[in-house]
Amino acid sequence: MNFNELWRLRENAPDKATQNLLAPYEHRAFAREATSENPLAALSLALGIPVYQLAKILGQTNSRSDPSLEQVKQGYLGIGEGLLGRFK
């Protein structure tokens, strides 16, 4: 799914459990699309992904989902997919 579709699903998600289920894939789609559009975004995303999760842990965000390593993993997979798709 693309980022917009996943974002809309999360907007309508009824509870935290559903948010936690969808969040990693939304993060992946965002990273994939951002990196595909601009490969240099991979640099900032590579740093931003763990920083964002740390901010969630510290309660510094208004996030709809809990912090998770799965979100980090999916974000990095998205970077890889975006770069591979760009240079195929």
Q: ∠19-25-31 over CA atoms, to 5°?
A: 125
Q: Rounded to whole angstroms, how far apart are CA atoms 31 and 15?
A: 24
Exposed, middle or buried, 10 (CB in 10 Å: 0-12/13-18/19+)? middle
**Tens digit of pLDDT for each residue in 37-73?**
999 999 999 999 999 999 999 999 999 999 999 999 9
Q: Which pLDDT tens digit goes with each residue over 3-37?
A: 999 999 999 999 999 999 999 999 999 999 999 99
Residues 36/2, Cβ–Cβ less than 8 Å: no
Residue 88 is predicted with a pLDDT of 67
